[in-house]
Structure 1
Amino acid sequence: MARKFLYLMIVLILLVGAGAFVYRFYGKDLMKAALIPSAHFEGGPVTPSQAYEKPAMWFARPDIPNNPALWTPADFKPGENPPAAVFFIHPTSYIDRAHWNAPLDDAQANNTAAVFLRGQASAFNETGEIWAPRYRQATFGAFLTSRADAQKALDFAYRDVLAAFDEFLKELGPDRPIILAGHSQGALHLERLLRERVAGRPLAKRIVAAYVVGWPISKLHDLPALGLPECVTAGQAGCILSWQSFAEPADPSMITDVYDATTGFDGKPRKGTDMVCTNPITGTPNAAAKLTANLGTLIPSKDLGSATLGVPGVPAKCFGRGFLSIGQPVNLGGYVLPGNNYHVFDYSMFWVNIRKDVARRFATFASGKPATASAPAPTAPRR
């Protein structure tokens, strides 16, 4: 699954005017030739345990200047001394085929990552101090092939994420509440982090919520391994949220075709199983909300350096096997993927509601009330 799903991120080649035309006629073969590295994976230096002690290894942390995660639109501002800490893993921003993993000093990849932090991680900056590591992410082409090199690149990227997370925990101390969040490749690494560092460990009691956005989670075969339940109420803490956004007419077959051919974390086929779908407007699963309930959608500037809030924002409802519909297509400056997939805007379309969702779940966590609610039984494969 990991090698295939970011195939949907073809937005990165649609940035040129002729991209859609070229993709229509040449499609996958052209993308593979243009984006998959031809050389074998060679790796690189192992991340030293002390590397992430250096502020330069982070895009965002409380003690660095020019922190892109502190951006806010007009009439909003970051919280003063926010009570929680946020570990945020940014999505793929490196598309060069020269390397299987991004060099840490690649200017274009770093600038794109900063754009993602402004539009995504900033939603958390009222409730939590944001820590977002630089990491040697797998290149976009790693998701277009089943070659062993691709999985090696993903494993290599995850080692950086893990080293950063261990330093994050050391910096925080033993008691501070934690919010986990990621998108796309970042959400893939977050799933693994939940399995390896949270599930079945005392750390799980410190997790306010985990936002695993833009990556599918099988309710039946993945969720039990992540160590936290699905969020089933708007004020629940200690749980997982996830969604994948489409406009109508929605065609998520590019996701389901791959998803149905993969196995879950329990080793059983995901085929036919439903995915976690949290409505980010309501904070509840399988819900519907009118556009008037969306308190603000970010509308990016042409240079992607800033954004304004569109109010009301888009509507949202869960549909099918666990996808999120925003109704009719909206103009957010392009970058919409085939099938009316609004993957790039999974966070920004619901920026204000996510901000309030985080605060609400933290209030429950801080109150000492029961952190979880009874979850519905997992959905079995559909026949």
Structure 2
Amino acid sequence: MPGAAYAQGDAGAAPDYSDGSVWLCRPGREDACAVDLDAAVVQADGSVTMDIHQPAQDPAVDCFYVYPTVSVDPGVNSDLEIGPEERGVVHAQFARFSEVCRPFAPLYRQVTLTALRAAMAGNGDAMSGGALAYGDVRDAWRHYLEHDNEGRGVILVGHSQGARMLQTLINQEIEGEPVQDQVISAYLIGWNVQVPEGETVGGDFSALPLCTEADQTGCVVSYVTFRDDVPPPPNTRFGRSPDPANQIACVNPASLTGDGPVMLDSYLSNGSDGYDMATQSWTETQEVDARFVKLPGFLSGQCVNRDGAQYLSVTVNADPSDPRTDILTGDVVANGQVLTDWGLHLIDMHVVMGDLIDLAESQAEAYQDR
């Protein structure tokens, strides 16, 4: 709970990534990525159809995913047991990538949500567990390269703490190494990736540029998300660089050129994956019980640079006259209060999931055609 002190605890022995039990997802298994991802498509008139998820058959490329801070284990670092929170975030953020690639998602002894909440209340340093967490991700990556990759192209996918881990992995294990040529793209979402003002490369990365075209490979997609009418406050956690020479990267997966607001292809969680998005009725016309919901035309977004902050600004295109919901949930809430410094961090990936999948398909095809 927020404000509670935490014990260092025992995160246990380092994972052996030859053991399948320390992987949330691997290809060809019934695991966290092998779930029903069909989505209800709710049109503005209240009519509902189904969007059917179809995993790729024998995909030519891989995806390697590192999940965000979700563990509610009591220590600074999590154990290596798969809980509902790990499964839920994979369902919401990564399993759909199986439409494009073979999925690989290691468990790791991440810094826990328990430790983060305590640190926010002034009780401890959550980042004290970062080195242990990164060591696991690095070891999983090395094991994957040695035993599974077989020279295939790979898309890196991470959110929040997972994006931070992948940023470090790119710095230490990928840039300047032969494997850099196999990186199709790196989706580092919900994390402050820094680039020099007006540039696409530099800052946090020495070689990988930001993506500017859908058929570009070897590049980075990164953004942080805020509501258009609730921009980053002065105490924001995301969107402002501490270095005046740098800005925070913003690459909108729905429009890499950044030309104005565009409609976003969202997959919103319907309450089954630990996200509080189903406290509403999606439409007055009928009940919706699919795991995910799509609302065409409901959300639009663009990368903006406002008041010294760079972020993906999301607008809810509400219409009180139609039977469809006008409410987007997904804010971070503590003690009944919305924490505006977090923006829409919980749904950074939900709001553009369809666009991310489309981009992954385009980049994977471009990589294969090189």
Give TM class, smaller chain.
Answer: 0.7 to 0.9
Distance 1:302 1:70, change over 3 A: closer
Assess if the C-alpha contact under 8 Å between 1:279 and 1:287 holds in 2: no
2:192·2:241 contact (CA, 8 Å) conserved in 1?
no
| 1:117 maps to 2:114 | no
Matched residue of 1:297: which SS? coil
Distance 2:345 2:37 in 1: 21
Structure 2 gaps, min length 5 = 39-50, 275-290, 318-325, 333-337
The residue that corresponds to 1:214 in the other structure is 190
**Aligned ranges 1:283-298 → 2 under 5 Å:** 283-284=256-257, 286-291=258-263, 294=264, 296-298=265-267
Q: Percent identity?
A: 24
Q: CA deviation at 1:202?
A: 0.6
For 2:287, the equivalent position in structure 1 comes to: none
Structure 2 match to 1:52: 17
Q: For residue 271 of structure 2, what is the amino acid of its counterpart?
A: K
Q: Which residue of 2 aligns with 1:325?
A: 313
How far apart in 2 are the matches of 1:66 and 1:328? 34
Residue 250 of structure 1, CA deviation: 2.4
Change (3 A) 1:125 1:239: same
> What's the CA shift for 1:76?
2.5
> Contact (CA 8 Å) 1:299, 1:332: kept in 2 or not?
no
State the TM-score, normalizing by the size of structure 1. 0.75
Distance in 2, matches of 1:53 and 1:168, equals 9
Larger strand proportion of the pair: 2
Deviation at 1:283, TM superposition (A): 2.9
Kindly tell me: are residues 367 and 70 of structure 1, through their superposed partners in 2, closer, same or farther at Cα, counting changes over 3 Å? farther
Counting only pairs closer than 5 Å after superposition, residues 98-137 of structure 1 correspond to structure 2 as 98-105=74-81, 110-137=83-110
Q: How many residues align?
A: 318
Give the drift of 1:218. Answer: 1.0
**Cα contact 2:69–2:160 (8 A) shared by 1:** yes
Whether the 8 Å contact between 2:69 and 2:113 is mirrored in structure 1 is: yes
1:348 aligns with one of 347, 350, 361 = 350
Q: What is the 5 A alignment of 1:1-383?
A: 31=2, 33-34=3-4, 36-37=5-6, 39=7, 41=8, 44-47=11-14, 51-68=16-33, 71-73=36-38, 74-96=51-73, 98-105=74-81, 110-143=83-116, 144=119, 150-220=126-196, 223=203, 225=205, 227-253=207-233, 256=236, 262=242, 270-271=243-244, 273-284=246-257, 286-291=258-263, 294=264, 296-304=265-273, 306-320=291-305, 321-328=309-316, 331-336=327-332, 337-339=338-340, 341-368=343-370
Offset of 1:344 from its aligned partner? 1.2
The CA RMSD measured in Å over matched residues stands at 2.7
- TM score, norm. by length of structure 2: 0.77
Structure 1 unmatched ranges of 5 or more:
1-12, 14-30, 263-269, 369-383
Q: Could you tell me how far apart the structure 2 residues matched to 1:148 and 1:271 are?
A: 29
Task: Call closer, same or farther: CA 1:331–1:260 in 2, change over 3 Å.
Answer: closer
Rate the CA distance shift 1:137–1:178 in 2: closer, same or farther, 3 A. same
CA distance, structure 2, for counterparts of residue 261 and residue 354 of structure 1: 25
C-alpha contact (below 8 Å) 1:70/1:125 kept by paired residues: no
Structure that is richer in helix per residue: 1
Q: Against the structure 1 CA distance between its residues 314 and 200, is the aligned structure 2 distance closer, same or farther, given a 3 Å change threshold?
A: same
